[in-house]
């Protein structure tokens, strides 16, 4: 209870530091007479801080969903899983809708709609979290999340001068800052009941909304770079269409993401049951594994960024390295009999996602025709949501029907093998598509 009283102090300090960072960035930009700081563009900093605020608030909600539904609402585990399944499906649909709005109209409009829905949904959740209103409010939050996430990811790619990995990696780190801070602050409030936790989520939604309406309108949505990717209909331009090869390349990229995410999510679902029930790892020790995951992602950037800089032109190599590290993490987990073994496995898993995850949206950004950046990022975000939706169920079926935890590990290695195959095919198709477009460009210039 004593720690809970410190919540306003932590909250004010956290928000103050974020605002102070943004002000310093803005002053630097004005002083130099340009829109770029020493490290990142000002507009990208706005997106990053927005993501930190957003994900901090959402992290008041998602860690407690299953526990709250089965514990306080009295729902069965099957019914609670079905609620989360529908929530993920809603997120997929809204990701695509948000991406389409981003492309057809404006990134600001897409994010504006998602932000308004998020504030209303979290307000309703904080006031009405009994059965069955909790379920409807949770689905409404999921819908808002899908719209805002696809918009922020698309904005991250468009607000960096070169697009590419830098913006997406920054957003990835921002998410994990929110994951680290949100549950900590929520834990301070949990002693007062879940109503206060959901009130905290609403407050952060309000902070994010205020930040959005004050700073996101300062993003140069009409710049040549962003404007060329959106508002085609208003300018009387035709949106570029993907080639057939480019379309298949995107499908293979999504397949790679799915084949990697399905094993990754097993650490959150079926492997957690295996560790706590079969190996004897305590729930507290299991929770510390994810604290380690978040800390490594944030702190590891100081080491990883110089390494990844060597691979900035070889994004597929990053994916291959990530898949290899994923495989090593599961080999270690499969043979682990003590807690330290799972700690080592988590380290390799975290390193794998640090290499692979930012590369996926970066390649999608490169594949997207003009005017489709938002849609393509929505598809990537939707595929991650689909994996989180399917992985626990599919893993449980394999464990129960096909030979226990050993069968699960066999299935995981098969999926990682398919990820390697789909990455190879995708890379070859992408190179072929790029050569084809380059030749068409040369022919067009010669005709002119």
Q: What is the pLDDT of residue 92?
A: 84
Domain count, the chain: 2
Task: Provide the phi-psi class of 33: left if phi over 0, else alpha when psi is between -120 and 50, else beta.
Answer: left
Q: Which residue has the higher pLDDT, 39 or 427?
A: 427
Choice among 255-269, 278-292, 301-315 with the minimum mean pLDDT: 301-315
Assess if residue 274 is contained within a domain.
Answer: yes
Task: Provide the phi-psi class of 275: left if phi over 0, else alpha when psi is between -120 and 50, else beta.
Answer: alpha
- Report the pLDDT averaged over residues 131-145: 93
Residues 161 and 271 in one domain: no
Angle of helix 404-447 versus helix 315-335 axis, rounded to 10: 180
Residues 98 and 138 in one domain: yes
Query: What pLDDT digit, counting tens, does each position of 148-179 carry?
Result: 988 888 788 777 665 556 677 778 778 878 87
Residues 226 and 264 in one domain: no
Domain of residue 266 covers 241-436
Residues 82 and 142 in one domain: yes
Among 57, 1, 378, CA closest to 200 = 57
- Contacts (Cβ under 8 Å, ≥6 apart) of 279: 336, 337, 342
Residues 181 and 277 in one domain: no
Question: From CA 11, how far away is CA 202, in angstroms rounded?
Answer: 13
Question: From CA 339, how far away is CA 280, in angstroms rounded?
Answer: 9
Q: What is the pLDDT of residue 240?
A: 61
Q: Is the pLDDT of residue 217 over 60?
A: yes
Domain boundary among the residues 196, 231, 266 is at: 231
- Contacts (Cβ under 8 Å, ≥6 apart) of 236: none
Assess if residue 25 is contained within a domain.
Answer: no
Residues 221 and 354 in one domain: no
- Report the pLDDT averaged over residues 395-401: 82
Q: Is the pLDDT of residue 23 over 70?
A: no
Continuous segment of H or E residues that includes residue 4: none
Residues 220 and 248 in one domain: no
Assess if residue 27 is contained within a domain.
Answer: no
Other Cβ atoms less than 10 A from the Cβ of 425: the count is 16
Residues 284 and 427 in one domain: yes
Domain boundary among the residues 203, 231, 259 is at: 231
DSSP string for residues in 351-389? HHHHHHTTHHHHHHHHHPPTT-HHHHHHHHHHHHHHHHH
CA distances from 175 to 56, 132, 224 (A): 8, 30, 28
Domain boundary among the residues 231, 255, 276 is at: 231
Residues 213 and 341 in one domain: no
Query: What pLDDT digit, counting tens, does each position of 59-88 carry?
Result: 888 767 766 787 788 887 667 777 878 888
Among 289, 46, 294, 51, CA closest to 175 = 51
Q: What is the pLDDT of residue 17?
A: 53
Residues 57 and 128 in one domain: yes
Residues 190 and 44 in one domain: yes
Q: What is the pLDDT of residue 164?
A: 56
Residues 185 and 45 in one domain: yes
Q: What is the CATH number of the domain that holds 366?
A: 1.20.1250.20
Choice among 191-205, 213-227, 260-274, 342-356 with the minimum mean pLDDT: 213-227
Q: What is the pLDDT of residue 22?
A: 46
Assess if residue 327 is contained within a domain.
Answer: yes
Query: What pLDDT digit, counting tens, does each position of 369-380 carry?
Result: 877 777 787 788
Query: What pLDDT digit, counting tens, does each position of 311-338 carry?
Result: 667 889 999 999 999 999 999 999 999 9
Q: What is the pLDDT of residue 37?
A: 47
Assess if residue 443 is contained within a domain.
Answer: no
Q: Is the pLDDT of residue 28 over 90?
A: no
Assess if residue 444 is contained within a domain.
Answer: no
């Amino acid at each position: 209870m004593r720690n809970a009283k410190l919540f306003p102090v932590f909250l004010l300090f956290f928000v103050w530091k974020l605002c102070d960072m943004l002000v310093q960035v803005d002053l630097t930009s004005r002083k130099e007479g340009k829109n770029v700081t020493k490290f990142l563009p000002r507009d990208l900093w706005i997106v990053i801080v927005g993501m930190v605020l957003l994900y901090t608030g959402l992290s008041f909600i998602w860690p407690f969903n299953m526990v709250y539904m089965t514990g306080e609402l009295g729902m069965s585990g099957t019914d609670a899983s079905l609620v989360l399944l529908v929530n993920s499906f809603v997120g997929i649909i809204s990701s695509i809708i948000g991406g389409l709005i981003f492309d057809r109209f404006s990134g600001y409009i897409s994010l504006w709609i998602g932000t308004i829905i998020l504030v209303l949904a979290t307000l309703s959740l904080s006031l009405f979290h009994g059965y069955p209103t909790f379920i409807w409010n949770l689905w409404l939050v999921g819908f808002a999340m899908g719209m805002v996430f696809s918009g922020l990811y698309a904005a991250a790619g468009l607000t960096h001068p070169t697009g590419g990995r830098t913006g997406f990696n920054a957003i990835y780190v921002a998410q994990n800052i929110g994951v680290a801070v949100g549950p900590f602050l929520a834990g301070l409030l949990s002693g007062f009941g879940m109503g206060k936790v959901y009130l905290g989520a609403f407050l952060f939604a309000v902070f994010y909304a205020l930040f959005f309406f004050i700073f996101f309108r300062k993003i140069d949505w009409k710049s040549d770079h962003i404007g060329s990717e959106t508002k085609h209909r208003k300018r009387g331009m035709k949106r570029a269409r993907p080639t057939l090869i480019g379309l298949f390349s995107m499908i293979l990229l999504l397949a790679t993401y799915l084949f990697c995410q399905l094993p990754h999510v097993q650490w959150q679902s079926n492997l957690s049951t295996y560790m706590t029930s079969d190996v004897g790892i305590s729930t507290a020790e299991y929770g510390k594994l994810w604290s380690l995951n978040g800390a490594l992602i944030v702190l590891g950037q100081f080491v990883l960024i110089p390494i990844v800089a060597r691979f900035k032109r070889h994004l597929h190599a990053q994916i291959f390295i990530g898949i290899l590290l994923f495989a090593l993490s599961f080999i270690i987990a499969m043979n682990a009999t003590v807690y330290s073994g799972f700690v080592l496995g988590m380290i390799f898993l975290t390193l794998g996602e640090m290499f692979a995850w930012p590369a996926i949206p970066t390649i999608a950004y490169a594949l997207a025709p003009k005017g489709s950046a938002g849609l393509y990022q929505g598809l990537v975000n939707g595929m991650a949501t689909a994996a989180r939706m399917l992985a626990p169920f599919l893993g449980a079926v394999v464990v129960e029907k096909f030979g226990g935890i050993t069968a699960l590990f066999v299935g995981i290695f098969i999926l990682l093998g398919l990820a390697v195959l789909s990455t190879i095919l995708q890379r070859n198709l992408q190179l072929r598509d790029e050569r084809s477009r380059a030749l068409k460009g040369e022919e067009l210039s010669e005709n002119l």
